[in-house]
Homo-oligomer: A and B are copies of this chain.
Amino acid sequence: MLSGNRQASPPVWMMRQAGRYLPEYREVRARAGGFLNLCFTPELAAEVTLQPIRRFGFDAAILFSDILVVPHALGRSVRFEAGEGPRLDPIETVAAIDALPTQADAAIFAPVYETLRRVKQELDPAVTLLGFCGAPWTVATYMIAGQGTPDQAPARLFAYREPNAFQKLIDILIDASIGYLSAQLEAGADAVQLFDTWAGTLPPEQFSRWSVEPAQRIVSGIRARIPDARIIGFPRGAGALLPDFVERTGIDAVSIDWASEPGLMRERVQSRVALQGNLDPLALIAGGDALDRAVDGVLSNYADGRLIFNLGHGIQPETPIAHVERMVQRVRDYRG
């Protein structure tokens, strides 16, 4: 799948495709007893990972998990309360970073690897199995703020004030990510995706230090252990900084958000690596002509090159299933 497709219709899957818009997901979620329980119970996590493949025949299955399992494995309290985003105990001092363990607790991750083994066994070999983790910058923003905030300003401010301590946090997250993603690949993932959801909030110098360099070190670290590892980046909102990200990290593919400028993306990104994206998730909620135009827009912008059709961000809970079916059909019917 990671080579994209220049001939017939491009491969297609959706970020957060195992999610609340699916009744079969909501049923499993209700009996899992808490979001982290769902992530850490291989039988249930494997089931929800496979649900969207059965329903829509997507070309990729993505591990059901969350980017905040890494802080959880570093001993931080992580809570998912109903109707709110995640909550962590915020890191407000240099001392709190100094008190972090340098290694994640491997036992926490064991059920994730078991989930991947189970999914791999049940999955049609033609379907790509993806693992993932949050990129260090994005994970750090939640660890510092204790939650999602507009522009994740608390972490950006902390990094300006205490760059050495912040670098120490990033270094811990880089090491944890290398171990975690490598083990996901060894457990059966065909590729892994690094989600840097908050990369677009960084000025160029900080983007280089907190998004590009960590991604480069993670790619190198994984490939030192697994030379042919395939890795997808997603520095969301990177815009014109994306070509530099691709060049310096040596990543195999990148996701792009829905606001990307097509000319730059084709000439300076898709010319080097496969592109994944970038339908506006709100067009998928709207459906009808707006959806058809948006799907056609992605295809006309990018399907001449290596494209993995996807959304520009995760699917939202209120999305009608019929709109997903319409999108998949329209992508499958595409003939260049």
Q: Name A residues whose Cβ lies closer than 8 Å to a Cβ of B.
A: 150, 153, 156-157, 160-161, 163, 200-205, 207, 237, 239-241, 258-264, 280, 282-283, 285-286, 288, 290, 293-294, 297, 312
Q: Do residues A286 and B240 form an inter-chain contact, with CB atoms below 8 A?
A: no
Q: Do residues B240 and A157 form an inter-chain contact, with CB atoms below 8 A?
A: no
Q: Do residues A280 and B240 form an inter-chain contact, with CB atoms below 8 A?
A: no
A163 CB contacts on chain B under 8 angstroms: 290
Q: Do residues B261 and A240 form an inter-chain contact, with CB atoms below 8 A?
A: yes
Pick from B161, B241, B262: contact of A204, CB below 8 A: B262
Given A161-B286, A282-B157, A297-B205, is A239 in contact with B261 using a C-beta cutoff of 8 Å? Answer: yes
A203 CB contacts on chain B under 8 angstroms: 258-259, 280, 283, 294, 297, 312
Smallest CB–CB gap between A151 and chain B, Å? 9
Q: Do residues A156 and B259 form an inter-chain contact, with CB atoms below 8 A?
A: no
Report how many copies the assembly holds. Answer: 2
A153 and B203 CA atoms in complex are apart in Å by 24
A245 and B270 CA atoms in complex are apart in Å by 23
A17 and B161 CA atoms in complex are apart in Å by 23
Smallest CB–CB gap between A281 and chain B, Å? 9
Residue of B nearest to A202 (CB): B259
Q: Do residues B200 and A259 form an inter-chain contact, with CB atoms below 8 A?
A: yes
A153 and B259 CA atoms in complex are apart in Å by 13
Pick from B150, B239, B282: contact of A160, CB below 8 A: B282
A161 CB contacts on chain B under 8 angstroms: 286, 288, 290
A260 and B240 CA atoms in complex are apart in Å by 8
A160 CB contacts on chain B under 8 angstroms: 282-283, 285-286, 290, 294
A261 CB contacts on chain B under 8 angstroms: 204, 239-241
6 nearest interchain CB pairs?
A: A239-B239, A240-B261, A160-B286, A160-B290, A240-B264, A203-B258
Residue of B nearest to A205 (CB): B297
Smallest CB–CB gap between A289 and chain B, Å? 9
Smallest CB–CB gap between A250 and chain B, Å? 20
A202 CB contacts on chain B under 8 angstroms: 259
A290 CB contacts on chain B under 8 angstroms: 160-161, 163
